[in-house]
Amino acid sequence: MAGRPRDERARNVILRRAADISSQDGLDGLSIGRLATDLGVSKSGLFGYFGSKEELQLATIRVATSVYVDEVIQPALAVPPGVERVRRLCESWLSYSQRRVFPGGCFFFAVTAEFDARPGRVRDAVAAAGLDWSRFVARTIDDARQLGELADDTDADQLAFELIAFLEAANVTSLLHDDAGAYERARTAIRRRLDAAAAGS
């Protein structure tokens, strides 16, 4: 029993490194051998934690989800429901990508592109995380609508789709073109879109 907390800490260190690698090279670029080399540990020791590449990939998605919640969701939940929570949610996401919490930008953007057309447990886990995110954004928008801060006819799913598109465009443009200005353009687009959707606008 005494070894469990240490084992759990070691597992988390392994998985955090795995998430960093995956954000740049994809989940297929992840292997127990590469992790062992990066971390200076034995392959057999790492294999004992996960047993297979697929289990390693699934565990990596879970730890990346935990980081995402801490970096993006929790800061927004610290703000009362309404438009300001929507704004904080978008800003938290942009900050998470811009600060390179994962070196390859948004972990989920990277692995979604990799697995969107490939059936299996890993794809299902990636898809579930993406669906949870889009539903959370839509619920946050709908809360603002119900509070009277967004127009009554606001389509929460449509607005969530648009805001997420702005976020993801900033992420990929900054990475592909080394263009930090993409984040400010996204902030401008989000501000204008939310202003346009405001009640009484």
Which tens digit of pLDDT belongs to each residue from 4-42? 556 888 888 999 999 999 999 999 989 888 898 888 888
Query: Domain tally for the chain?
Result: 1
Q: Is residue 33 part of a domain?
A: no
Please calculate the CA angle 197-200-201 and round it to the nearest 5 degrees: 50
Reduced to 3 states (helix: H, G, I; strand: E, B; else coil), residue 116 is coil
Q: Is residue 55 part of a domain?
A: no
- Expressed as residue numbers, the domain containing 152 is 60-197
- % of the chain beyond a pLDDT of 90: 77
Helical H segments across the chain, by residue range: 4-25, 32-39, 43-50, 53-68, 74-77, 83-98, 107-115, 121-146, 156-177, 181-197
For the entire predicted model, the pTM comes to 0.92
CATH code of 164's domain: 1.10.357.10
Q: Is residue 114 part of a domain?
A: yes
Contacts of 138 (CB under 8 A, 6+ apart): 156, 157, 159, 160
Q: Residues in the chain, how many?
A: 201
Q: Is residue 28 part of a domain?
A: no
- In angstroms, the CA 96 to CA 122 distance is 23
- In angstroms, the CA 139 to CA 144 distance is 9
Which stretches of the chain drop beneath a pLDDT of 70?
1-6, 201
